[in-house]
């Protein structure tokens, strides 16, 4: 009986396996904006999601050294800023990018918490900026084109990715060398974009900003209002029948991109709900994405 209990405990707390070539700490010299707090990170029973992330990491998926310098995508899994669906919206996507000839990085970003952060509203953005900085710093070593580094996000990870793509003019991390924090392109899949009452996902907003955010916070993190002529080209995919994150998040962002003459591609599927669990097939929308990336020169023929 004791052996069965030990095996069950090992199963419950077994780490999610990513098959990445390596995982590196995002901040080798100390995590900014952090409070001293016990590490309570854990996974769910199926090991496809993790919670209470306070020590961010970057999971590295590189191409063989013999291949010419490639583009790269930093992937931000979703989970409403309350968890990270890191297997399905992280590791699996990274492996698919590598097969397509693109280096990939899964960002295990900190989840907003007053217990682990001084200002939880900027913690995930700090991690996204640090990830972009890190990949650019190691571009030559990792055989990556430093001018072709994009960021991708699912659901709340889409909010983080779009925040990185619309707030890069303000650095929330130490950046003495002035490395560009602007992603070269964005990929937003059923994303949360806005913090406004009529279209936001309340759980995502509450986890990031608390239950009583100020008007200035709502405006600052409503990314459809932050688009300008420097916003990166963007690929969007969502479903009309998404009952958790209204499709207008994607539509409003797309319209803001068009208004500012930013190259954008949007795919709205009739069915798919939130998470694209059954429809559209992953191969379908990823093929659309790869076609868009080829047209922009981010995938070599």
Q: Residues 225-244: pLDDT tens digits?
A: 999 999 999 999 999 999 99
pLDDT band at 18 (very low <50, low <70, confident <90, very high): low
What's the confidence (pLDDT) of residue 114? 97
In tens, the pLDDT along 239-259 reads 999 999 999 999 999 999 999
Instruction: Decide if 87 is inside a domain.
Output: yes
* SS3 of residue 137 by DSSP: helix
Instruction: Decide if 212 is inside a domain.
Output: yes
pLDDT over 80 (residue 60): yes
Counting the structural domains of the chain, the total is 1
Single pTM value for the model: 0.93
| Residue ranges making up the domain that contains 270 | 2-295
User: Nearest CA to 97 among 296, 290, 282?
Assistant: 290
Report the C-alpha gap between 156 and 77 in whole angstroms.
8
Instruction: Decide if 300 is inside a domain.
Output: no
Mean pLDDT score, 21-32:
95
Instruction: Decide if 285 is inside a domain.
Output: yes
Instruction: Decide if 151 is inside a domain.
Output: yes
Mean pLDDT score, 75-89:
98
pLDDT band at 68 (very low <50, low <70, confident <90, very high): confident
Mean pLDDT in the chain?
93
pLDDT band at 54 (very low <50, low <70, confident <90, very high): very high
Instruction: Decide if 58 is inside a domain.
Output: yes
Q: Which tokens sit at 178? A: 């002035």
What contacts 63, CB < 8 A, 6 or more positions away?
70, 98, 101, 102, 103, 143
DSSP element (H, E) containing 8? helix 2-12
**Across the beta sheet with 103-108, what order do the strands follow?**
22-25, 57-61, 103-108, 70-76, 144-154, 186-189, 234-239, 264-269
pLDDT over 50 (residue 204): yes
Give the domain CATH number at 187. Answer: 3.40.50.1820
Instruction: Decide if 225 is inside a domain.
Output: yes
In tens, the pLDDT along 104-152 reads 999 999 999 999 999 999 999 999 999 999 999 999 999 999 999 999 9
| Secondary-structure percent of the chain, ordered helix, strand, coil, rounded to 5 | 30, 20, 50
pLDDT over 70 (residue 218): yes
Looking at per-residue pLDDT, the higher value among 47 and 72 belongs to 72
Backbone phi, then psi, for 207, in 5-degree steps? Answer: -65, -35
């Amino acid at each position: 009986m004791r052996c069965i209990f030990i095996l069950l405990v090992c199963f419950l707390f077994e780490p999610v396996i990513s098959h990445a070539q390596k995982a590196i700490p995002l901040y080798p010299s100390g995590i900014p904006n952090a409070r001293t707090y016990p590490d309570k990170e854990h996974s769910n029973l199926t090991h496809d999601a993790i919670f209470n992330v306070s020590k961010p990491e970057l999971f590295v998926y590189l191409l063989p050294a013999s291949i010419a310098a490639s583009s790269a995508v930093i992937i931000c899994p979703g989970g409403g800023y309350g968890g990270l669906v890191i297997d399905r919206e992280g590791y699996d996507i990274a492996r698919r990018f590598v097969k397509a000839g693109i280096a990939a990085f899964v960002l295990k970003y900190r989840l907003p918490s007053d217990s682990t952060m001084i200002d939880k509203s900027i913690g995930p953005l700090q991690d996204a900026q640090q990830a972009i900085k890190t990949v650019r710093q190691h571009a030559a070593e990792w055989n990556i084109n430093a001018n072709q580094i994009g960021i991708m996000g699912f659901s709340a990870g889409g909010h983080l990715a779009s925040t990185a793509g619309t707030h890069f003019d303000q650095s929330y991390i130490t950046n003495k060398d002035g490395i560009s924090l602007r992603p070269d392109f964005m990929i937003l899949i059923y994303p949360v974009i806005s913090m406004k009452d009529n279209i936001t996902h309340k759980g995502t907003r509450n986890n990031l900003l608390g239950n009583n955010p100020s008007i200035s916070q709502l405006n600052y993190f409503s990314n459809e209002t932050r688009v300008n002529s420097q916003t990166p080209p963007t690929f969007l995919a969502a479903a009309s029948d998404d009952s958790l994150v209204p499709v207008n998040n994607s539509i409003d962002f797309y319209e803001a991109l068009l208004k500012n003459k930013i190259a954008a591609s949007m795919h709205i599927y009739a069915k798919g709900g939130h998470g694209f669990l059954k429809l559209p097939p992953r191969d379908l929308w990823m093929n659309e994405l790869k076609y868009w990336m080829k047209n922009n020169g981010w995938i070599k023929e």
